[in-house]
Chain A
């Protein structure tokens, strides 16, 4: 018997433990889902912004203290000069392709120079031939990897420096080039040139990610490439790419690849490039001037391509517009329906059909609402109304009629409105039913009509409940994505001028930024920022609703 009681007791404790665990698990899941979203999302708003960020804000959005930015920018460019000079020196030794190109161009210029000066016939041919020899010698020198050959070639070019034939002509540039290349050859190990060229490309790539385009360089077409690292965390990340060469190497066949890091400084040892790595690392603060930034304009700013820079202002605006217009449609409908269901009917067949329909409406999958919204509002009702209004009544312009045939805010709002209608009806019905019957009886006994009773007594008493329901459906409408996919949401596009144009929305934007956008993958803080904004909006609404309800229920208990 003792064992039986023990085992029953044990089973009971297990049951309790499991049920507590399930709730704890649920709370953990909530924290796990919301935690990273909020934490990473906040990085879109609070971060250490570099001077590149402030510069970008000024140029793209026109915010900031231009005087101060220009001053700091000047200082920073000064600090960067060291790096740029080293890079330039190194480039001359490595990147000989463009040197060869230059030499060829000069040769061509020389030809036209001669023609322009009326040199012709045999003298022309002789001069051309001599220039050609020079050209070929120089090109051989640039292409050769043998130090001896190079020096010999350069020497033979330089011997002609004082030749009167070439004095004062474009050919003089050949001698300058030969001279500077002589210095380069002394410091660079030519046999490594191929390797250097590849690694040098990586260095330049990393540098342009860090510093943006070099001063004086042609401004890149994409906004992304026009600025360097705008955030301190990006600076750190890109710095690692600059300082280290990362490779996946196969140590043994069949084994997973292993990441292998070597310092670029060692790779470029004894070259002109060597000092820039230490310099950049040591002077990182001076090169970027990071400052803690509270980027509250994130919630207002337009964004550049792929949300790379900027904020989510248009998305917020779109979500607010969609929610507002859907509520404009569904709140009156919902409250009136609830009033009718509670006050005016008994339980007959019609009411039962209505109730079943409301429940069905609540159960229709959101994507089917999307399909319906497209088939009914976008493809059927609105074009029909547009045509009628344009051709018969003449109240719509041709453009309005055309907009009505495409997905637009209004269609999306109606679809969302239908989606949340059952939620509002149910919440309002419950709230109206919860008003004590004595209220109503007292009002009727005082001589108020049914309408007046409802408006002045029942509705105010039910208001907190109805309001709670409205806020909950607001948050539902703000968060839904599937119904607006085909009825009025777009991923990119201008801020709409009227409600007959499609809009961006936080919900669809969150989808697009998470899976659809290659550029956005590069800026995880922007991805999380968007979804954080959406979740924060929805949860704030919910918390307000919960708070109102708890207050009003306390009030009801207090009565």
Chain B
């Protein structure tokens, strides 16, 4: 479960960490993910979800991925429904509070077709951080007493060698691949995020490969004018893909809010028959469109404009 430190170091050493251009297509980036990989997703719930990359992985018919994320929304349904992943590690899994419990998550987990490995939100964050720090575990004061610890493989209690207190050790997470969507980055992978940072910086540092998607690719000179804004360094990044509206129908801070009519329609589509509903959705919105722009076209220009108008309103007085 914990990657041996020697392997972690050797794998990092073997990567080309030079200052080089890494711009490629969604399809080319999807080829960097192998079946069975542990794929960590940046963002949280409906925010900065790397949806374009998730979409590309499902179209590339990936299999047996283990997917982790701080909180999982509809992208988790798509992983289950497509069979790209039967194992989601997260702290909370449903479309969003206003839509109630995810019927797709319920169907696949209750019928034993898929696993939802549940950790506390802080524990997941600390696991990524341990991975980012290159240490095998970090102690926390959470989760003890609960039934969560009995259902997951990993956490261990210990008595603190300094104080004698009871602590819970949570193991490092070093994902094979991190998928992270940002507002802008340069061709080398220096990434700048606006708004909520979520766990993305830790995930990027912890992972063995990082695929960045960005609303826009800017010049390295532009990045260098405000290096304090760079939250993910190019040395951790392996691929850069320009994907406008790359979180749709979820949100990207300051660019667009969630596409609420589309999310309502999705919830209605899966409510009658979750398995058939999600498969029909995948057919129409993931497999059929010829490219990402054709997918956005399906969401509808009125919805794109509405989400963008609400999204950019954070910069209004």
A, B in one complex: no
| Residues of B bordering A, CB below 8 Å | none
